[in-house]
Amino acid sequence: MKLRVECYAGRKGDERPVRFQLGDRDYLVEEVVDQWYGSDATFFKVRADDGHLYILRHESSGNGEWRLEAFRKHDTP
């Protein structure tokens, strides 16, 4: 699923996501839990302001497209 992502732009350009839009809703990234590099993309595991975890994929080639790679619902006890 394609996303619109707003990033923190540090000295290396778009370094990490700070906000993303999925459907009609905007999500604020509260925490970047993990980050890793694949052969053709960078992955970010983030906790959004809804408390859920999302894995966002940023393509290294082409137009630098963002995609939702995975979602995990956080259940409160």
Per-residue pLDDT tens digits for 19-72 = 999 989 999 999 999 999 999 999 999 999 999 999 999 998 878 899 999 999
Asked, for residue 77, whether it belongs to a domain, the answer is: no
DSSP 19: E
Q: Which domain holds residue 60?
A: 4-72
- For 31, list phi and psi in degrees, rounded to 5: -155, 135
pLDDT at 77: 58
How many residues are recorded in the chain?
77
Give dist(CA 56, CA 19) in Å, integer: 11
Asked, for residue 15, whether it belongs to a domain, the answer is: yes
Asked, for residue 33, whether it belongs to a domain, the answer is: yes
pLDDT at 15: 79
pLDDT at 62: 77
Number of domains in the chain: 1
